[in-house]
Amino acid sequence: MPRFLTLADVAEVLSVSGAQAYALVRSGDLRAIKVGGRGQWRIEECELEAYIQRLYVETAAFVHQHPFGADEITLDVAAH
């Protein structure tokens, strides 16, 4: 993988749309730089990996705070 990725590359790695990748960059969730005369976005590979690792940590915290059984009960009640 090259050091810098395009938004299209990031979208492919994360299996999201180009618009979603752009939104991650514009919101500051995913660090990026603008390069060249047209100001094209580039994301360093290590920044993408750091973002993915943060998501794993956040997801683990969410799962810990919201045990599967609690979600199952909520879904069961909503179905009835």
pTM: 0.77
CATH 1.20.1180, applies to 4-79: no
pLDDT along the chain (80 residues), means of 10: 92 98 98 94 98 96 80 56
Query: According to the model, what pLDDT value does residue 67 have?
Result: 79
Query: According to the model, what pLDDT value does residue 66 have?
Result: 82
Alpha helices in the chain (DSSP H): 7-14, 18-27, 45-65, 68-79
Query: According to the model, what pLDDT value does residue 80 have?
Result: 54
Smallest CA-to-CA distance from 26 within 39, 12, 13 is with 39
